[in-house]
Amino acid sequence: METPTFSIVVPVYNEEGCLDELYRRIVAVMESTGEPWELVLVDDGSRDRSTEIIKRLAEQDRRVRPVIFARNFGHQIAVTAGLDYSRGQAVVIIDADLQDPPEVILDLIAKWREGYEVVYAVRTEREGETWFKKFTAAAFYRLIYRITDVKIPVDTGDFRLMDRKVVDVLSRMREHHRFLRGMSAWVGFRQIGVPYKRAPRYAGETKYPLRKMLRLALNAITSFSYFPLQLATYLGFLAAGLAIVAIPVVIILRALQPQAFFGQASTLIAVLFLGGVQLISLGILGEYVGRIYDEVKGRPLYVVREVPSDDQTIEKKS
């Protein structure tokens, strides 16, 4: 079988209502390029009929290549597996819920043909999402931009096209807590954004509850910044500085007026405040230490139950 020019990688978690429509629209778009392509559908441990549908699509169309996980490993890991199994010269990552319109892929491809190695899609508008999601997303992107050393473009999700060169570098980065848009910015190369309008979900509901969003945000920050660790140092200096200024002030005030600073409330507040700061700092340390522990264990990133029948890779990916 000829190697495809384009690979479309889609992470799928309980998307039974979207898959057929996704397939239909991807086929329509990719046919118009006139180049060979493949669709890598990564089933991230779905519990609905998604697995069945993926297998049926793969039987009907040999360009559909299923990667079936043994359990739910999470969105970023599912995308990673899709990249591992992709063979195209350019690889597009797109969500299964059609919030990222497949038609935009043509714009991404056009930029790739101009010579850009990473073409990311920038959301100019988001439809059908709650103000809470929009607000937290906007705040998150801006926070990440400020405190990380890698300049990760704002309002950009995982919807992007990456050249084979970039995908190969990413495939060698086997860190467990992954933030792919950060990693693909870190790689370098020629990068450019393409604006698009994010559509509402085609069917089903979001698989990103607040808990998962917070974890992703935490991974993004810890993977690309030491700022939280440094925060403890800054707060330490601030508290020590305050104390140095306060000591002579208190001594003088007490000497002039014996009633000043009488009582336990101020002591208690200071102790509580510092105790809180110390516990928070310990917690931050714990976040980083836990991540070091996860890396040291060296477990595979994911476990597959089934790989594409035409998979040629000798080296075992995980």
Q: By CB under 5 A, name the binding residues for Mg ion.
A: 95, 97, 99
Helix %, strand %, coil % of the chain (to 5): 50, 15, 35
What are the residues whose beta carbons fall under 8 Å from the beta carbon of 273, sequence distance 6 or more? Answer: none
Query: For the sheet containing 6-12, what is the strand order?
Result: 191-198, 118-126, 156-163, 90-93, 6-12, 37-43, 64-69, 304-306
Report, in Å, the least distance between residue 250 CB and ligand UDP.
52
- Member of 92, 96, 108, 166 binding ligand UDP (CB under 6 A): 96
Q: Does 19 bind ligand UDP (CB under 6 A)?
A: no
Q: Which is nearer to ligand UDP, 99 or 219 (CB)?
A: 99
Asked if 65 touches ligand UDP (CB under 6 A), the answer is: no
| Binding of ligand UDP by 186 (CB under 6 A) | no
**Least Å from the CB of residue 216 to ligand UDP:** 9
Spatial neighbors of 3 by CB under 8 A, at least 6 apart, are 36, 87, 88, 89
**Which of 97, 117 has the CB closer to ligand UDP?**
97
Minimal distance in Å, beta carbon 143 to ligand UDP?
17
Span near ligand UDP by CB under 6 A; candidates 7-15, 237-245, 268-276, 305-313: 7-15
Taken in order 42, 225, 279, 273, the sign of the CA dihedral is negative
Closest by CA position to 43, among listed 122, 96, 118, 116: 96
Residues 199-228 that bind ligand UDP (CB under 6 A): 206-208
Half-sphere exposure of 297 (CA within 13 A, CB side): 10
Strand partners of residue 65: 40
Q: Is 12 in the site for ligand UDP (CB under 6 A)?
A: yes
Give yes or no for residue 44 binding ligand UDP (CB under 6 A).
yes
Q: Report the residue number, 204 or 236, with the smaller CB distance to ligand UDP.
A: 204
Q: Exposed/middle/buried for 12, CB within 10 Å: 0-12, 13-18, 19+?
A: buried
Q: Which residues on neighbouring strands pair with residue 196, listed in sequence order?
A: 123
CB of 92 to ligand UDP, least distance (A): 13
**Beta carbon nearer to ligand UDP, 73 or 186:** 73
Which residues would be at the binding site for ligand UDP (CB under 6 A)? 11-13, 15, 44, 72, 74-75, 78, 95-97, 99, 206-208
